[in-house]
Amino acid sequence: MRIAVSTDERTGVAEAVVEGLRRRGHEPIPHGALVEDERPDWAWASERAARDVAEQRADQAVVCCWTGTGASIAANKVDGARAALCADAETARGARRWNDANVLALSLRTTSEALLEEILDAWFDARPSEDTGDRDNVRHLEEI
C-alpha cells in the first residue's frame, strides 16, 4: 500500500514510522519535516498527508506531532479522511474495525518504538467491520 506519512519534526518515532512501513512492504509518501521543500508545521503536514488519502494518491496515512492531537485534528478537517489518535494497539485495531479509520495519528512524545510496532501491526492487521450498524455509522460521517 501507499502510505502518506507526515511529521512536524524529526524526533521520537518519526523516522521509525517510515522504516516500519517499509519493513511491512508499504511505500511511504513523506511530508512535512521528512522532506526539504514542504512546510513542516503539524497543521500543514497533516493536511497534506490526509489529502493524499482523500484524493487517492495514498491508501492510508500516518500523521505525527508532539501529542498527536493537532495532527489528528488537522487530518480530520479534510473531507474523506477519518483520523484516529491511537496510543495503543487495541485503540488502533478498533479504529480500523469500527470506524474504518484511514489516517493513524501518533504522538511523537509518548509512542516508544516497541509500542509503535504493536500499533502498526494492529492497524494493518485489522479490517473494517462489515456489520450494518458499523457501516451506517461510517456512512453517516459524510452527512455530518
pLDDT band at 142 (very low <50, low <70, confident <90, very high): confident
pLDDT surpassing 90 at residue 33: yes
pLDDT for the residue numbered 71? 98
Per-residue pLDDT averaged across 19-24, rounded?
A: 98
- Model confidence, pTM: 0.96
Q: Which domains does the chain have, with CATH numbers?
A: 2-143 (3.40.1400.10)
Residue count of the chain = 144
Q: What DSSP line would sit under the chain, residue for residue?
A: -EEEEEESSS-TTHHHHHHHHHHTT-EEEEEETTSTTS--SHHHHHHHHHHHHHTTS-SEEEEEESSSHHHHHHHHTSTT--EEE-SSHHHHHHHHHHH---EEEEETTT--HHHHHHHHHHHHH------HHHHHHHHHHHH-
Q: What is the pLDDT of residues 77-132, one digit of tens each?
A: 999 999 999 999 999 999 999 999 999 999 999 999 999 999 999 999 999 999 99
Question: CA–CA separation, 20 vs 135, rounded Å?
Answer: 29
Which grid cell sits at 59?
491508501
pLDDT surpassing 90 at residue 5: yes
